[in-house]
Amino acid sequence: MKLSMPLVYAGNPRQAADQVAGLEKAGLDTVWVAEPYGFDSPTLMGYLAAKTERVEIGAGILNVYSRTPGALLQTAAGLDNVSGGRAVIGLGASGPQVIEGFHGAPYDKPLGRTREVIRIIRMGLRRESLRSDGIFTIPLPADQGLGLGKPLKLLNKPERPAVPLWVAALGDKNVAMTAEIADGWLPFLFHPEKAKDVWGASLEKGLAKRDPALGPLETSAGGMVAIGEGPETKALLDLMRPMYALYVGGMGARGKNFYNDLACQYGYEQEAKEIQDLYLDGHKRDAEAKVPLEWLEAGNLVGPASYVRERIAAFREAGVTSLQVSPATEDPAATIAQVKEWVS
């Protein structure tokens, strides 16, 4: 099992990025760089490439709406070059709130767009001329490239002919597509003990169509990690309540919130409704208090060493191949080193 970490993107991400070199030495394998509606991730990923030597640098995620397929190809090829072959590109549809509210683009055909972006990026990294099936532009004859002109291929020779492409997916159809065509899967707010019930059938459906040449599907999931005895350590779980409440309660309108749907699939229907009602009515603290403790305990790695090791085993049993951790400790490098021993 690899060990990965999401870069903190609130505040000043450069300060968080400056710590990655030390975490790399402690055993970190991959750093994921998000951008929801903050700083763009390619800039920070290039910065990380110059600051590190071994760690994989992953986009976690780039949405498939605000950049053209050609631009996403350029990012994948450029980052892979400046990092010496350490790029991992996470893709996803994000959600209407970000795509429409921040980027001003219509949120349509998320599965079709994601599938076509993956096809075009792989085509471009092989230095083939870019051709679309028409989902991004009006369909024209095959010799018309992406639909508006002569087909072109990437000007530079890529570092590698293939860069790992991961997809952030929660819905049944999206997860099935991810299992079919992506190199890796990025679920969110992951509950190891309930993952099979929620996604098992979708994963099996996609894997049945998977090209063996892609190799096994990788999965990256996890949460906060804090190793220690006593109630003060367990109390750290409360630090995760604002994030859970934001996504379950505030990332979308009623009936259009993927994370609220996920909470319901986990069996937290009543809590999901209460969290959303409170959050949308402006009572964020009350919404945070409604996040089920069971979910927080299952989705994070907080407690005595023996308990943290049990949680690692649960994530492994659920199919996670890259454990994501966010150290909530005074010495993150030491925590990374300790967990690295346990996942190896």
At 74, which CATH number? 3.20.20.30
Q: What is the average pLDDT across 159-170?
A: 98
In a domain, 234, yes or no: no
Hey, how many other C-beta atoms are within 10 angstroms of the C-beta on 80? 23
In a domain, 275, yes or no: no
Q: Is residue 260 a part of any domain in this protein?
A: no
Would the pLDDT of 143 be above 60? no
At 138 the pLDDT is 42
Q: Answer whether residue 138 is part of any domain.
A: yes
Q: Does residue 315 register a pLDDT over 90?
A: yes
Instruction: Indicate the average pLDDT of the chain.
Output: 94
**Residues 240-282 pLDDT 10s:** 999 999 999 999 899 999 999 999 999 999 999 999 999 999 9
Residue 271 lies in a domain: no
pLDDT band at 145 (very low <50, low <70, confident <90, very high): low
User: Looking at the domain assignment, is residue 253 inside a domain?
Assistant: no
Q: What is the mean pLDDT of residues 227-234?
A: 94
pLDDT exceeds cutoff 60 at 303: yes
Which DSSP category does 247 fall into?
I
Question: How far, CA to CA in Å, does 170 sit from each of 50, 198, 295, 333?
Answer: 33, 9, 17, 31
Overall average pLDDT of the 191-213 stretch: 98
> Which of 11-15, 19-23, 199-203, 208-212 is predicted with the least confidence, judged by mean pLDDT?
11-15
First to last CA, the chain: 6
Is 296 domain-assigned? no
Name the 3-class secondary structure at 244.
Answer: helix
User: Does the pLDDT value for residue 139 go beyond 70?
Assistant: no
Residues sharing a CB contact under 8 Å with residue 331, sequence separation 6 or more, in sequence order: none
CA 79 – CA 104 distance, rounded (Å)? 26
**Parallel/antiparallel/unpaired status of strands 184-186 and 165-168:** parallel
Host domain of residue 125: 2-225+303-343
pLDDT category at 149 given cuts 50, 70, 90 is low
Q: How many domains does the chain have?
A: 1
Q: Could you tell me the pTM of the whole model?
A: 0.95
Confidence of residue 11 (pLDDT cuts 50, 70, 90): confident
Note whether residue 21 is domain-resident: yes
pLDDT value at 195 more than 70: yes
